[in-house]
Amino acid sequence: MEIHQVHAKQGLQWILSGFYLFRRAPLTWIFVCFTLMLIAISMSLIPLLGKFIFTLVSPVFLAGIMLGCKDMEQGKSLDMTHLFAAFKTNTVPLITIGGIYLVGQILIIGLVMLIGGSQMTDMMLYGKRVDESELMGVMSSFLTSSLIALTLSIPLMMASWFSPLLVVFENVPPIIAMQKSFFACLRNFIPFQLYGVTLIVLTIISVMPYGAGLIILIPTIFASIYVSYKDIYLNEPIRFKNNQSEADLQKANWGDADQQPGQQHEPEAKQETATTGNKPQDKDQNER
């Protein structure tokens, strides 16, 4: 599958098209995302294993939502079953992607704790207080480890961004899907920069009114993932079949309307030329 390089402005267009996709079924989108949030909260209540299990199955939920986006584009409706649709088809490859992402996160966290030292680990995990003389050293270690964690987390997110979609839509093996996803994000790094900065600004704005704006922003982000996939891999925008059929029907009606007057006037013109002959005065009188 070919990876296309898009313009920088497409990073903003993905968000706008994602919002348009959300606006076609806002209540259903909110209900689906709220259910996914409840599942995440319920799994996090399980000590130790809860967060790990949700990280493993999160690509399966994401792939199901992407199947719902595709059905919406084909004129079908989004419903609750789409959230669990990928469990029926590509469960093992999607869980494999989740497992690779989980292992990557564990390695990054372990590296951060190793660089930060025991003092930073005790302060972050157990809330242990640090003396003023040691505070500067702990803060310096925290800043260094945070930069390293961010630097390593970005490639991991790039490899996981499109991989569930490639598995569920193209049946690509999980390792190859993560490689293709990484190179697709790397080739379109500038649009993704604009996309990420815009999402950061929108997140800050959405959190201000007691987090109410997240009700719109979270479904928009999910829909924008599908839009970016179509733009980069298929090189086409979202197209809804019901809109296309109406446009084709209207175009067909316009074509009939353009042909009917020509069909009516053509025999009249022939009849006029047959009766009037070559006299220009008689022809002018007939036209009047």
Mean pLDDT over the full length of the chain: 81
Q: How far is CA 131 from the centre of its chain?
A: 46
| Alpha helix positions (H), 24-90 | 26-44, 49-73
Other CB atoms within 10 Å distance of the CB of residue 192: 23
Q: Is the pLDDT of residue 97 over 90?
A: yes
Tens of pLDDT, residue by residue over 124-153, are 666 666 666 666 766 777 788 888 888 899
Helix, strand, coil % over all residues of the chain, rounded to 5: 85, 0, 15
Q: State what percent of residues in the chain have pLDDT above 90.
A: 55
Q: Is the pLDDT of residue 121 over 90?
A: no
pLDDT at 130: 61
Q: Is 79 helix (H, G, I), strand (E, B) or coil?
A: coil
Q: Is the four-CA dihedral 21, 22, 23, 25 of positive or negative sign? A: positive
pLDDT at 89: 85
What is d(CA 178, CA 97) in angstroms, rounded to the nearest whole number? 8
What is d(CA 178, CA 186) in angstroms, rounded to the nearest whole number? 12
Residue with the larger pLDDT of the pair 123 and 66:
66
Contact assessment for residue 200 and residue 15, using Cβ atoms and an 8 Å cutoff: no
Other CB atoms within 10 Å distance of the CB of residue 71: 15
Kindly report which listed range (84-98, 126-140, 225-239) carries the lowest average pLDDT score.
126-140
Pick the closest to residue 97 from 211, 21, 24, 177 (CA basis): 177
Query: For residue 177, what are its two tokens?
Result: 């899907």
Q: Is 46 helix (H, G, I), strand (E, B) or coil?
A: coil
Q: Position of tokens 């007691």?
A: 210
Query: For residue 64, what are its two tokens?
Result: 């199901």
pLDDT at 274: 41
85 DSSP assignment: G
pLDDT at 113: 80
pLDDT at 193: 94
Residue type, 273: T
Q: Position of tokens 């839509």?
A: 169
Q: Is the pLDDT of residue 270 over 90?
A: no
Axis crossing angle, helix 132-161 with helix 91-125, rounded to the nearest 10: 170
What is d(CA 39, CA 54) in angstroms, rounded to the nearest whole number? 8
Pick the closest to residue 62 from 25, 18, 97 (CA basis): 97
Q: Is the pLDDT of residue 248 over 90?
A: no
Pick the closest to residue 227 from 3, 10, 7 (CA basis): 10
Q: Position of tokens 């030329």?
A: 273
pLDDT at 227: 95
Q: Is the pLDDT of residue 258 over 50?
A: no
Average pLDDT rounded to a whole number, residues 249-253: 37
Q: Is the pLDDT of residue 198 over 60?
A: yes
Q: Is the pLDDT of residue 250 over 80?
A: no
pLDDT at 249: 33
| pTM, rounded to two decimals | 0.77
Kindly report which listed range (24-33, 36-45, 123-132, 167-176) carries the lowest average pLDDT score.
123-132
Greatest alpha-carbon span in the chain: 113
